[in-house]
Structure 1
Amino acid sequence: MVAPGARRALPLPVALTASVLAGASLDLAYPDLGWWPFAFLSVSVGLWTLVGRSLPTAFLVSGGFGAAFYLLHLSWVVTFLGPLPWLALAGLQSILFGAGGVLIALAYRLSRARGGVSELLIPVWVAGLWVLRETLMGAWPYGGFPWSRVGLTLVDSPFADTASWTGATGLSFLVVLVCASALDAALRRRWQSLVASVALLVAMYAVPLFPTESAGTLRLGWVQADGPSGYFDAKEPGDILDAHLRATEPLRGQDVDLLVWPEGSVDADPLNDWSAAARLEELVETSGTDLLLNAATTRGDETFNTSLLWTSRGAEQLYDKAHPVPFGEYVPDRWFYETLAPDLVGLIQREYTPGSTSPTMDTAGTRIGLAICFDVIYDDVIYAAAVSGAELYVLQTNNADFRGTDENLQQLAIARMRAIETGRTVANISTTGRSQIITKAGTVTSGLPENTTGARISEVALNSGTTPAVLLMPTLAPTLSAASILWFAAFPLARRLSPHSTPKDRRAS
């Protein structure tokens, strides 16, 4: 018997098929295609397949959505490490996504009271649970992988400016809230939900970019050397440094405030290798400007992925990557995984230590914020630089192992979203491409394509002031997540207090 106010679940074969198709279509909303309307369509269908479901079938259906999405979205992992890590990562993400679907299905099963404020808030609850799932997947295991938040799909949409107020997390919440409200209107023929969905879209369209203040400009010289920077590229020691020195030649003697090289631009430890240090000192002296570079550095028994600001006095400021990539830059629980895939794990010989230094540096009278490659997906790195007064972000990355894949484009979309969130120019400088200069509105003003050697000078805007998105970064996701969990306990009380609930409803709760 169907509970009052509930809707029958779609037949399992229909729901599973629809969920898989919805998951696959969500990948279309991300680069390289970037068809952002598919995010709304995909989320709406994915939620529909969970309405009225039992919890075991909800896990199956939502897991099918996750598998279809992550197998497509993360297919670039195959290029670097092969099919086993790809299947392992996509499989883990799918399981976690399926578990989140169980919570959403449970919320729908509990929403049985007819009318009342409590039932009108179900879309809010569902959107909060979606954020809870994204938050947990972005934090666990091994530091999480917050690569695919649904809010990131809107970077090319008319709603992108909203991110300066809500951040990517808030955009995820709003996208799902729009979809859940529209679904509620369609299934229950409730005009209030339809009005709420349309009103949200109008508000997201109308909100302007948060106005951070101008703090001047900086002449940035940046280099994409397109050297042998891939893990498996044929090279001799010093080849990568040679490639960057050659690519920088056109900038020597130019009016530049700061030179920037990408991640992995020096294939020696300049803190311990006198030859590499001497070549960097010569470049800085003849160029008359500081150089921001990146290399693997060793201090004591620990190795770090380090950005160094090289001046005429050497490396006076360092930033160590806060979030080394598990199974890419280190192997967690190596003893365990070596028993499963010794040859594969053996390829990853270097063990990077997470850094604890501030992701900021001061040069040419400017404070710059930093993030090294996948660091860009973690809010804590971006937030730490913003609250420390960063006026510009420089993101150094090495995409050489993912040439010709969507990884590069997906990361660039995240970088563009970071520009909008922080109200800062972002310089995303890559070893092999694509390198881009991104305005605070998320638009690209200069760039180099993949597999291209080039050096550019860009006069970039500096900005001050803190956006609401930055202020919300540490608190919004935990608040929405905690409220969604607490609502499971509060929902029975809300039903009892609802003026539309019957005595029978109250006893059933």
Structure 2
Amino acid sequence: MTQPMTSGLRAADIPNEGRWRRFLRPAPLPGEPSRFSAETPWVRWPLALLLAVGTGPVLASAFPALGWWPLTFVGVVMILLAVIGRGFWAATGLGLLAGIGFYLSLVSWTALYLGPVPWAALSTLEGIFFGLGAGVIAVVARRIPRAFPPRLAAVVTPVAIAAVWITREEIAGNWPYGGFAWGRLVLAHAESPFASLVSWVGFTGASFVLALLPAAGLYLVRSGVLRFPWRLAVPALVVCAVMAVPLAQTEQIGTSRIAAVQGNGPAGYFDKRQPGEVLQSQLTATLPLLDKQVDMVVWPENGTDFDPVVDARASQALNAVTQALNAPLITGTISERDGQFFNTSLLWESEGGPQNHYDKVRPVPFGEYVPDRAFWEPLAPDLIGLIGRDYTPGTRSNLFDVRGTIAAISICFDIVDDNLLRDAAQHGSQVILAQTNNADFGRTAENEQQLAIARLRAMETGRALVNISTVGTSQTVDADGATLAEIAPYKPGYMLTDVPLYRGTTPGTDIGQAVQILLGWSGIMVLVGALFFGRRPRPARAASAVPEATRDADND
């Protein structure tokens, strides 16, 4: 009768391995259950706590302003090591620590003017989503190896983990009150070799790949592959192939000479200013363009603090600019119609004034409006009282026909909306004008984080993009993500660029929504399947028992 391969092994033969396995659980010893099993934690509690606490700042460092994008993979591996093998609630608690730490680091700019309460509240809410996602990952990682043979489980489980990660991102990015899409893995990769993925599978598909790679890598290391380094050749080639994916192309059909003006005026919510001072700042910064040939002029969100549709002084000023430049002007303003307030972008011509307008479709909850005000105001009357008026979501098309050039308009946080600019590309947009007002965030990382999202949108849609801010960071970006022009932040100035115009769509535009829906639901389907099919552990082989001496060495 064949003896188990560990039959002659004694505890004394493995003293060193027994000691370090007390703290970190690597691939099991011969004869133990599958190394892909998550019936017991992969790391012990002290290390799990350290990993969870460290995940937040590590993951946040991958995003601008630091922009150390490889740390997305490190952060994902850290939280997976902490939670795999634990129960739902233990993993959720560890994920909560990681998530709160992540968002406290990532969106610290929310505390600049409003103080720590909104910052802590937002970080806690997003941390709860992060924690619940970690809990579900732990459940899935434990149940799937029960339902599949070890080798197949090693393939299926990382895919399932990535699916759960994406479902958590989608839920947090859309709920409640429209969600908060900051912190998706893809948003750290605007300038990484993986950025081109958005042009093929959209933001959600790219995030899925970026979650799958570290999860698969962790399971690969867990398999003991490091003992046979040559086996890393194929996985390394796969990663290199993903990094080498070219950008999907659209067809350039010409250029438009676009002047974008950054007035650097006192445009912040709490800035002290005189009426019309923001408009005057924009006018002053536009004056150097008077002897230039331009096709259109773009001012940022809130480029005029008077609505030129109803204010004669603002109307005269815009008429003077458009007449002097012989070019239309696209500017942001606040408009009131039928008792409702809108964050509006206007297309203005010297003859006829307003030609078209677009109202921001994604006003920021607790920033531009207070949802369920009657409920929230008694809880924080001083903070809620700062938001004196509620902006209404727009319903109009964001496409402007600017003397034959079809421009897609995005206002500030509209840029995180996966559908807005994707739909615009499918309906014939040739260039994107992203107007924003970052004055409320001072010299923080928010400006660079938003610009990174805009850069990815350009690559996803195959369109050049003009990102113009009141104070910075303002850049013109080509469809490949390359910077064509920029204005020094926190200084008045302009950029005059022959911006390429494109037509056609990328696969990311065409199938992005389908990928988003499929992956958005995939985590729920994975959880249901894991709960149903992974109810009982797979029966162990008769010869897999581990001698007592070996067990004792592992449990010292």
**Paired residue for 1:261, among 293, 299, 304?**
299
Does residue 88 of structure 1 match 2:126? no
Higher relative contact order (CA 8 A, sep 6+): 2
Alignment of 1:423 onto 2:462: yes
Q: Which residue of 2 aligns with 1:478?
A: 517
Residue 127 in 1 paired to residue 168 in 2? Answer: no
Out of 60-69 and 8-17, give the one that drifted further.
8-17
Q: CA RMSD in A?
A: 2.2
CA contact (8 A) 2:258 2:297 kept: yes
Going from structure 1 to structure 2, the CA distance change for 1:108 and 1:364 (only over 3 Å counts) comes to same
| 1:379 corresponding residue in structure 2 | 418
Match of 1:6 in 2: 37
For residues 212-361 of structure 1, the aligned pairs below 5 Å read 212-311=250-349, 312-361=351-400
Tell me how far 1:400 sits from its aligned partner. 0.6
The one-letter code matched in structure 2 to 1:85 is: P
Q: Aligned pair in 2 of structure 1 residues 109, 195: CA closer, same or farther (>3 Å)?
A: farther
Q: TM-score of the superposition, structure 2-length normalised?
A: 0.86
Q: What letter corresponds to residue 431 of structure 2 in structure 1?
A: L
Using the alignment, how far apart are the partners of 2:139 and 2:190 within structure 1? 31
- Which residue is equivalent to 1:68? 101
Report the 3-state secondary structure (helix = DSSP H, G, I; strand = E; otherwise coil) of the residue aligned with 1:475: helix
**1:29 CA displacement:** 0.6
Mapped partners of 1:495, 1:335: distance in 2? 46
Post-superposition Cα deviations, 1:218-240, rounded to whole Å, max 9, x if no partner, equal: 00011000011111111111111
| 1:215 and 1:463 in contact (8 A); partners too | yes
SS at match of 1:340: coil
Relative distance call for 1:87 and 1:491 in structure 2 (3 A) is closer
Q: Matches of 1:341 and 1:354 in 2, distance apart?
A: 24
Match of 1:370 in 2: 409
335-344 or 366-375, which deviates more: 335-344
Equivalent residue of 1:458, what SS? strand
- Structure 1 letter corresponding to 2:307: D
Question: Contact 2:300/2:436 (CA < 8 Å) preserved in 1?
Answer: yes
Offset of residue 193 of structure 1: 10
Separation in 1, partners of 2:514, 2:53: 33
1:99 and 2:163 correspond: no
**Aligned-pair CA distance for 1:481:** 2.7
Q: Does the 8 A contact of 1:367 with 1:392 survive in 2? A: yes
Deviation at 1:121, TM superposition (A): 1.2
1:396 to 2:431 alignment: no
Instruction: Letter of the 2:142 partner, please give it.
Output: R
Secondary structure, counterpart of 1:130 in structure 2: helix
What residue ranges of structure 1 are gaps of 5+ in the alignment?
A: none
CA contact (8 A) 2:264 2:470 kept: yes
Tell me the SS of whatever aligns to 2:498.
strand
1:432-461 deviation line (CA, Å, top 9, x unaligned): 111101111112121112211112211111
| C-alpha displacement of 1:302 | 1.0
> Corresponding residue for 2:221?
186
Tell me by how many angstroms 1:197 deviates.
4.5
- Residue 420 of structure 1: how far off its partner (Å): 1.0
CA distance in structure 1 between the partners assigned to 2:301 and 2:527 by the alignment: 45
Q: Which residue of 2 aligns with 1:150?
A: 185
Aligned partners of 1:292 and 1:310 also within 8 Å: yes
TM-score with structure 1 setting the length: 0.94
- Could you tell me which amino acid in structure 2 is paired with residue 63 of structure 1? L
Q: Give a deviation string over 1:285-316, Cα, whole Å, max 9, x none.
A: 22211000010001101110000000121111
* Structure 2 unpaired stretches of 5+: 1-31, 543-556
Counterpart of 1:450 in 2: which secondary structure? coil
Specify whether residues 451 and 92 from structure 1 end up closer, same or farther in structure 2 by C-alpha distance, changes over 3 A only. Answer: same
The answer as to whether partners of 1:131 and 1:477 remain within 8 angstroms in 2 is no
Which amino acid is 2:484 matched to?
A: T
- Offset, 1:241: 0.8
Cα distance in structure 1, aligned partners of 2:72 and 2:314: 48
Aligned length: 501
Aligned partner of residue 111 in structure 1, secondary structure: helix
Secondary structure in 2 matching 1:296: strand
Runs ≥4 residues deviating over 4 A? 2-5, 190-197, 491-496, 500-505
Equivalents in 2 of 1:193, 1:502: separation in Å?
29
Letter in 1 for 2:150: G
Q: Point out the structure with max Rg over C-alpha.
A: 2
Report the AA paired with residue 288 of structure 1: N
Matched AA of 1:158: P
Shift in Å, 1:344: 1.3
